[in-house]
Amino acid sequence: MAEITIRKRPRTEAVVTQRKFFKKTARGKVIKVLRERYLRDDVACGIHSCGLCAHEQDVLLPSSGSFEHASFANNGHFVLPDTNVFLSQMDLMESPLFSPPIILLQTVMEEVRHRSLPLYNRLKALVKSDDKKIWIFYNEYRSETAVIREEGESPNDRNDRGIRKATAWYNNHVSLARPPVRGQAKPPLPTIVLLTDDVANRQKAEKEGLTCMSVRRYVEGVKESGQLLDLLSAAGSETIEPTQAVAARQALYPDYLPMATLLAGIKSGQLHQGHFNANQYNYLEGSVSVPAFEKPVLLIGREHMNRAVQGDIVAVEVFDEKDWKAPADEVVDQEATLKNDDADDSEEEGEDDEALAERKVLQTELAKQSASSKQPTGRVVGIVKRNWRSYVCHIDSTSLTSTNSTSLSQQTVFATPVSRLLPRIRLRTRQAPALIGQKILVTIDRWERTSRYPEGHFVRALGKVQSKEAEQESLLLEFDVPYRPFGKAILDCLPPEGDNWVVPPKSETDPNWRDREDLRDLIVCSIDPPGCQDIDDALHARRLPNGNIEAGVHIADVSHFVLPDTPMDHEAAARGTTVYLVDKRIDMLPALLGTNLCSLRPHVERLAFSVIWELSPEAEIVNVRFTKSVIASKSAFTYEEAQVRKDDPKMSDPLTESIRLLNDLARKLKAGRMAAGALNLASPEVKIQLDSSESSDPIDVEQKELRETNSLVEEFMLLANISVAGKIQETFPQTAVLRRHLPPPKANFEKLQDILKKRRGMTLDVSSSGALAASLDRCVDPNEPAFNTLVRIMATRCMLSAEYFCSGSVARDTFGHYGLASPIYTHFTSPIRRYADVLAHRQLSAAIGYTSLHPSLHSKSHVERVLEVVNKRHRMAQMASRASVEFYVGLALKARSEKETVIEDAFVIRAFRNGLGVFVSRLGIEGLVTFKREIQFDADNYVITIPAGEQPVSIAVFDKVKVMVEVEQDKNTQRGRVVMSLSHPIDSRGM
């Protein structure tokens, strides 16, 4: 028997082995946390062939480090970066051109995690990357490198001292591991290079005899320095070349208040917190929605927006009511107003022509405002949380000082983001001439109060403008869609049988069949869009002897394959949803599951999670049960095929009768929902006609046709989601994953109500969802069937977005879904493509006693964190899908316009002092028709009057017009954009 020795730690060691800190709870209580740490002397260094360390895993670092640096070409080196390198220069660290062996300290990882969770996730991915050599050294647990915080020492200084101590230990360790051999020359020892942009830390390191470098100085010594220098963040750069002495620059923006002052002001109600939203029609205007006011707080002018960028969480100060203003009624384009601005001179002292032009625009607007439309107005006094990330941009060719393609001189240029909601970004690059006509990725680093524009750095080129590959990748990046291939750890979670996996023969001992109902004999079918491969759901219906009807929804049992707390589960949670583009799908789960093992394909046995109701002939629920099951779908129909089958009087087989029965029930279910006040809203949905299944060239655009079978599927999915929501909320009242749609503030509808009343004499009652639904039904123009759809689209835009939430996090009376008029709702029916549905499956499985619930789904804070990510991914996926459609609509229009003049019917949806906003329903796109000439504008009645000889032409909101649609390429950015002009009732070209 092995001898066990019990050793008692001396009290004198407690000061080193215990970590003490104070923590504030959510309720504001301060608690002391004491953590024990066990120090050891066998934490490995990670260097190959080190005789002093016992490595239990494959080492990553070569024995002599890297010789690919001018300063260490003879003896080799390792890089040991401090925390700020990863916080400021992550793009450099991720570049495949930057490949020295890296020692990553535990101290650095923990500090990055505390400072920025997104950067920490990128750092974890970097460590796992196959093309990087990174060793994590747990310096806090090695007895020689552990440090404790000294009296009066800040946490940052303590961490810096720990990093220097670990660097010194590595240098000493390398020399001890390679002792000189008698009679032989002393072997050259690799250098451990401390990489830091902290000047004070560098000075202390140099005093301690350590080799240290700034990031810029280090990069200048590597082979690919020209390209890597462009990746450096301006925030970490030592050699920014100001156009004038900083002290002499005039401040263009006010200083931000300290964070403590901001938080105190928000808590007391003197300041208000919300997300900054830029105005897509006027770059000199923004708004912030805050709980204290029904209408958003208006921000007018650069000074009052104070360097806020789309999506930032800001603190705003609201002015006295006498100083409130109305939103602008003029289109103000950034590129047109600032076309002559110089990237090098945009920090110059004094007012230039561009500043004067902006001031003139604002003064003109304020002079024309009416008192009736004023809303809360204020200014940004601080940033609570930045939303900066990498943005897809184009280089503005007019900002280049040299277009010589062989020039390697550094130039300051403007990068114009693809999104109209973002400001131009100043960046310094040596590659400017080569980047003209390319889509590039740019990250914002800082925005000084002395600079009109934010400063950033070049990350990488995506490809030639308007090439489908570059456009597709840029679209995914623009909307932050994760699209990396699934890694080995994720793929290892899949069944080892791969495509050959099948449901095993029925057996009481087989775990796959445990507590599952055998529903393989049921007449089950699926109804989906054409070409659908990830079939989530199937349905069945049959008459019961008692005169009632049994109806069932059978959903792919994804949670059988995606187990909690596995690499595949973590990846699905990070992706949140599958993203559907016109010619590509970015899957949430590996294709083996999504399009095969979980897809309910016909004539194949599949594992399912079934919701089965007994319904009366009037579609009232008698009872409902939930069960894990095995099904074998009898057919996979498209909506059109199911519709044809249902309508064919000659067909009376069991499958057809099942579809008819389902359809009859669906009609009654829908009637019941509408009677309860559900809304029948609309969105502009179009279908892109591609040249062929192999080609992604669009040839035409058409509106999606909705059939009765679309509604059939929708009604039963809604019923399943509502039934499951009730069950999981009853079982897990604190952590149920639900979805809600809050009632919109009545102020959101004020403008639409006013337009309808003045232009069409119609009223919109928004007192309840039922009243709104009824009044939308009455908004009908007998001469124009599309008018009702247009009003529904505009009403949809007045709504709040639906969101996932944790049931224990909000008041019970806010659970309801306004649009569906349901008191409770969740998503259960699409687990292949939505992570929220996977969570609902796990909770329902536990609710029926099939499995126990994973501990993470008992944690309210964990569920909240996961759903915050899922909500963001869901929003971004919707925007990416819409942007993909818009891009392909543009390609189709370009192809058409080369053969003919494209003229389409459109409705006027907005009126400006210098233009019209129009909606082309056949193409599903909006556009601007702008006028350079002076026109008359009646803001109160939403009418513009265009001088046209003796008979002026008046056009108002909701009028039907004809527009000429063209796609033109911007001369500076090379970006293709849709341009519209009126062709009827007046030709606006040249106006």
DSSP string spanning 493-518? TS-TTGGG--PPPP-SS-GGGTT-EE
Per-residue pLDDT of 513-533, as tens digits, reads: 999 999 999 999 999 988 888
Average pLDDT over residues 64-91: 90
pLDDT at 350: 46
CA–CA dist 682, 690 (Å, integer): 25
pLDDT at 124: 87
pLDDT at 143 > cutoff 90: no
Tokens 């451990």 correspond to 192
pLDDT tier, 568 (very low <50, low <70, confident <90, very high otherwise): very high
Asked if omega into 529 is within 30° of 0 (cis), the reply is no
Range with the lowest mean pLDDT among 73-82, 246-255, 754-763? 246-255
CA–CA dist 980, 967 (Å, integer): 9
pLDDT at 932: 81
pLDDT at 701: 65
pLDDT at 109 > cutoff 80: yes
CA–CA dist 289, 940 (Å, integer): 24
Average pLDDT over residues 144-173: 90
Q: Can you give the pTM of this predicted structure?
A: 0.82
- Torsion sign, CA atoms 910, 915, 921, 926: negative
Let me know if 921 is exposed, middle or buried by CB neighbors in 10 A (0-12, 13-18, 19+). Answer: middle
All structural domains of the chain, each given as residue ranges with its CATH number in brackets, are 56-236 (3.40.50.1010), 251-339+372-387 (2.40.50.690), 388-479 (2.40.50.700), 497-555+578-738+819-879 (no CATH), 743-799 (no CATH), 901-984 (2.40.50.140)
CA–CA dist 856, 965 (Å, integer): 53
- Find, among 680, 636, 628, the residue nearest to 659 by Cα: 636
Range with the lowest mean pLDDT among 532-546, 600-614, 783-797? 783-797
Helix (H) or strand (E) holding 162, with range, is helix 155-177
pLDDT tier, 465 (very low <50, low <70, confident <90, very high otherwise): confident
Q: According to the 3-state scheme, what is the secondary structure of 232-277?
A: CCHHHCCCCCCCCCHHHCCCCCCCCCCHHHHHHHHHHCCCEEEEEE
Per-residue pLDDT of 727-759, as tens digits, reads: 999 999 999 999 999 999 888 898 899 999 999
pLDDT tier, 244 (very low <50, low <70, confident <90, very high otherwise): very low
Query: Angle formed by the axes of helices 835-847 and 567-575, to 10°?
Result: 120
pLDDT tier, 243 (very low <50, low <70, confident <90, very high otherwise): very low
Average pLDDT over residues 43-62: 79
- Find, among 332, 356, 355, 354, the residue nearest to 279 by Cα: 332
pLDDT at 948: 75
pLDDT at 849 > cutoff 90: yes
CA–CA dist 651, 868 (Å, integer): 49
pLDDT at 976: 67
pLDDT at 569 > cutoff 90: yes
Bridging pattern class, strands 30-36 and 134-137: unpaired
pLDDT at 248 > cutoff 60: no
pLDDT at 658 > cutoff 90: yes
pLDDT at 242 > cutoff 50: no
CA–CA dist 736, 741 (Å, integer): 16
- Find, among 945, 943, 947, the residue nearest to 956 by Cα: 943
End-to-end CA distance of the chain: 97
pLDDT tier, 247 (very low <50, low <70, confident <90, very high otherwise): very low
CA–CA dist 579, 459 (Å, integer): 24
pLDDT tier, 387 (very low <50, low <70, confident <90, very high otherwise): confident
Where residue 149 falls (left for φ over 0; alpha for ψ -120 to 50; beta otherwise) is beta
Beta bridge partners of 185: none
Q: Are 283 and 349 in contact (CB under 8 A)?
A: no
Beta bridge partners of 638: 528
pLDDT at 239 > cutoff 50: no
pLDDT at 372: 53
Let me know if 39 is exposed, middle or buried by CB neighbors in 10 A (0-12, 13-18, 19+). Answer: middle
Average pLDDT over residues 261-269: 92
pLDDT at 686: 63
**How many other CB atoms are found less than 10 A from the CB of residue 87?**
20
pLDDT at 291 > cutoff 50: yes
pLDDT at 648 > cutoff 70: yes
Percent of the chain with pLDDT over 70: 87
- Torsion sign, CA atoms 217, 218, 219, 224: positive
The average confidence (pLDDT) of the chain is: 85
DSSP letters, 567-620, are HHHHHHHHH-B-EE-SS-EE-SS-HHIIIIISS--TTSEEEEEEEEEEE-TT--
